[in-house]
Amino acid sequence: MTNIKSIGSRLHFWGLGVFFLTLKTYILYKIGFNIPADNYLQEFILIINPISSAVLLLGLSLFFSGKMRNVMVIVTSAVATIILYLNLVYYRFFSDFITLPVLFQTNNAKNLSSSVLELMAFQDLFLIVDLLILTFLLLKGKIPTVSKKKVEAFAIVGLAFLLFFVNLQIAHKERSELLTRSFDRELLVKNIGMINYHIYDAFIQSQSKTQRVFANGSDMEEVIDYRNQLYKEPDQDLFGIAKDKNIIVLSLESIQSFVINKTLDGEEITPFLNELIKESYYFDNFYHQTAQGKTSDSEFLLANSLFGRDSGSVFFTHSGNSFNALPEILGEDGYHTSVMHANNKSFWNRDVMYQSLGYDSFFDINSYEVNEENSIGWGLKDKDFFEQSIDLLKSQPEPYFTKFITLTNHFPFELGEEDRLINEFDSNSGTLNRYFPTVRYMDDAVEHFFTRMKEEGMYEDSIFILYGDHYGISENHNKAMSMFLNKEEITNFDTIQLQRVPMIVHIPGHDVHEIKNTVSGQIDLKPTVMHLLGIESEYDIQFGSDLFSPERDSFAVLRDGSFITDDYVYTKGVCYSKPYGWETITSNCEPYMDKAQQDLGYSDKIIYGDLLRFY
């Protein structure tokens, strides 16, 4: 009993510091950052997630003895407070949390420093109230001077890791695969805490930096030799057909090809896209090649003809790399390049990455009027998004390359009754059931956009490229999917085929309309756009080939190493023959295995080593 009282006497000042730091962090979450909690579990996580980092950070003071131990409690509390306050000031300007790449974005730092006084507020003084109380208690002399106890210090550090582990397990129940979602900084702060988020951020960035350090220019020679083997001559009839015309790219959220030309209760799911295909080039064997980076991966593939990472998002981990991206290339060719997306500019680290890719303009949520009536789910509804974007298009110098990113057809596929143009499906999966009305709504929104472009006289001078960004329905809904597709089950072969997404090239006034069966993917978008504009890509470092090239290989490799050819699908170590998905001998797929691994391997080598800085 005496020992417990002795330990309590030595640690009560430290414990008070932990309590104060935890409390003010939670208050800051709610008032400063306005972090919402949708249920009691999320609120509980918000309350407890500062504890482990407070115990760890202030636990460092326990390695000191005498008066210095108590002084260090105040010093470490002050350090944590500075971290919190820097994030608060930054958040007020950018609506985002600080990351290591942001610290090296000189433009951001410059913009912030010029407004720092305006970003400060009198009420911010509450952040130092605990420091004043602790200092008063220390100076009052009522805090006992204690000797250094290494056992206590190490025990507290161990406790901090235990508390973090418990916090992480609870958070994983609320959001699985949490630590793979490095793109969503608010989600990380919300679940693991501000200080822990910065530790995680430092770990992710140090990983990337280490690989970059050991790269050198000679690594690029091997990549160039391989790239030279991939180049295919363009179709001479289409080369330059889009020159000096505006390029409109529509990134269609979560749409998969299985809805194209299909009906539900006698109603077409995508009536406008079905008609547009008849007046366009349509690629019916076009695959998304994204991984955990989802939409940001598809953007990266479009811009660079390189693969994203197999985990995490390259938009987050390698935004500081050198790129030879499509927006930069088109900018050098006289095009104004932009993105229109009615979402927070920092999501997927877009505000940073778009600068690296060479975009001239980014019209984010602040460029749109968003209210309760015109938004649902992830934000502004697609029809309102396209309508409000017309004037933004007009404001740009011509010719322009503009990419639109839609939102409404996003999980969990929410839609108001007034916007439902088709019934829900009837299955055991609410997700799949709701998917069809949101796809139908997106189709209607795209039709509205085309109508408005024609009304404004902007249609004839543009070329339109529409593609799905990634899958919308995961394997968790295979039972319901088999019902819709009238299959007994969804096999691994079927799963790969379900990764097909629509890809349409629409050229107003062009009288050739054709369905292209070539196996292809998002990696092929960049060289296709360049050749349509009459820009040669022979010396560009990329891993795709022009979709219209008569010489192109009918081949696509997915980020997990699965690949597809005209005759075979290879996935999870098994070779399947098309079109029925029968298992066949592995030797039929072996001729393509090296190419699949080389495509992914050389692309990774470029990204991790930042090799384009040598090119």
pLDDT (0 to 100) of residue 177: 66
pLDDT above 60 (res 181): no
pLDDT above 60 (res 28): yes
Identify whether 295 is a catalytic site residue: yes
The predicted model gives 526-532 an average pLDDT of 96
Neighbouring residues of 585: CB distance < 8 A, sequence distance ≥ 6: 575
d(CA 58, CA 70): 10
* Tokens coding 345: 């500019």
The predicted model gives 8-33 an average pLDDT of 84
For residues 79 and 56, the answer to whether their CB atoms sit within 8 Å is no
The per-residue pLDDT for range 137-161, each reduced to its tens digit, is 888 876 665 555 667 778 888 888 8
> 557: which strand partners?
563
The predicted model gives 443-461 an average pLDDT of 97
* Tokens coding 384: 């309102």
- Which range, of 64-73, 317-326, 509-518, averages the lowest pLDDT? 64-73
* Tokens coding 596: 């699949």
> 459: which strand partners?
none
d(CA 533, CA 561): 31
For residues 543 and 598, the answer to whether their CB atoms sit within 8 Å is no
d(CA 578, CA 561): 18
d(CA 551, CA 430): 44
pLDDT above 50 (res 112): no
If one compares 216 and 498, the residue with the highest pLDDT of the two is 498
pLDDT (0 to 100) of residue 102: 54
Q: Please report, for the chain, the start and end positions of each structural domain, with discontinuous segments joined by +.
A: 2-212, 236-549
Reported as type and span, the H/E element at residue 602 is: helix 590-609
The per-residue pLDDT for range 236-281, each reduced to its tens digit, is 999 999 999 999 999 999 999 999 999 999 999 999 999 999 999 9
Query: What is the residue type of 247?
Result: I
Share of the chain above pLDDT 70, in %: 90
For residues 72 and 61, the answer to whether their CB atoms sit within 8 Å is yes
* Tokens coding 91: 């958040």
The per-residue pLDDT for range 41-80, each reduced to its tens digit, is 888 888 888 888 888 888 888 888 778 888 888 999 999 9
**Residue among 491, 490, 472 at smallest CA distance from 482:** 490
d(CA 590, CA 109): 51
Local confidence band at 10 (pLDDT 50, 70, 90 cut-offs):
low
If one compares 70 and 398, the residue with the highest pLDDT of the two is 398
Query: What is the residue type of 203?
Result: F
pLDDT above 80 (res 110): no
pLDDT (0 to 100) of residue 38: 77
Calculate the average pLDDT of the chain: 88
Residue-by-residue DSSP string for 472-491: SS-GGGHHHHHHHTT-S---
Q: Is 387 exposed, middle or buried (0-12, 13-18, 19+ CB in 10 A)?
A: middle
3-state secondary structure 340-365: ECCCCCCHHHHHHHHHHHCCCEEECH
For residues 548 and 528, the answer to whether their CB atoms sit within 8 Å is yes
Q: What is the DSSP letter of 310?
A: S
d(CA 116, CA 93): 9
pLDDT (0 to 100) of residue 148: 57
The predicted model gives 539-557 an average pLDDT of 94
- Which range, of 2-16, 303-317, 538-552, averages the lowest pLDDT? 2-16
pLDDT (0 to 100) of residue 105: 41
If one compares 440 and 346, the residue with the highest pLDDT of the two is 440
* Tokens coding 116: 């720092």
In the chain, the N- to C-terminal Cα span, in Å, equals 70
**Residue among 522, 530, 601 at smallest CA distance from 301:** 522
pLDDT above 80 (res 166): yes
Among candidate residues 290, 295, 317, 402, the one labeled active-site is 295
If one compares 110 and 503, the residue with the highest pLDDT of the two is 503
- Which range, of 133-142, 413-422, 460-469, averages the lowest pLDDT? 133-142
* Tokens coding 123: 């009420």
Question: Cα 609 to the chain's mean position, in Å?
Answer: 21
The per-residue pLDDT for range 196-208, each reduced to its tens digit, is 888 888 887 676 6
**Residue among 502, 603, 513, 49 at smallest CA distance from 256:** 502
**CATH class for the region spanning 236-549:** alpha beta
pLDDT above 60 (res 287): yes
pLDDT above 70 (res 606): yes
CB burial of 18-57 (b: ≥16 within 10 Å; e: otherwise) equals bebbbebbbebbeebbebeeeeeebeebbebbbbbbbbbb
pLDDT (0 to 100) of residue 344: 86
The predicted model gives 9-26 an average pLDDT of 84
If one compares 355 and 140, the residue with the highest pLDDT of the two is 355
Q: State the pTM of this model.
A: 0.73
Please count the CA atoms within 13 angstroms of the CA of 493 that sit on its side-chain side. Answer: 17
Local confidence band at 1 (pLDDT 50, 70, 90 cut-offs):
very low
pLDDT above 50 (res 86): yes
Contacts 24+ apart (CB under 8 A), 195-204: 195/50, 195/53, 195/54, 195/56, 195/57, 195/80, 195/83, 196/49, 196/52, 196/53, 196/164, 197/97, 198/83, 198/98, 199/53, 201/99, 201/100, 202/100, 204/312, 204/316, 204/317
Q: What is the DSSP letter of 500?
A: B
- Which range, of 99-108, 378-387, 504-513, averages the lowest pLDDT? 99-108
Local confidence band at 107 (pLDDT 50, 70, 90 cut-offs):
very low
Neighbouring residues of 6: CB distance < 8 A, sequence distance ≥ 6: none
d(CA 445, CA 48): 43
pLDDT (0 to 100) of residue 93: 57
Q: Which of 86-90, 353-357, 369-373 has the highest mean pLDDT?
A: 353-357
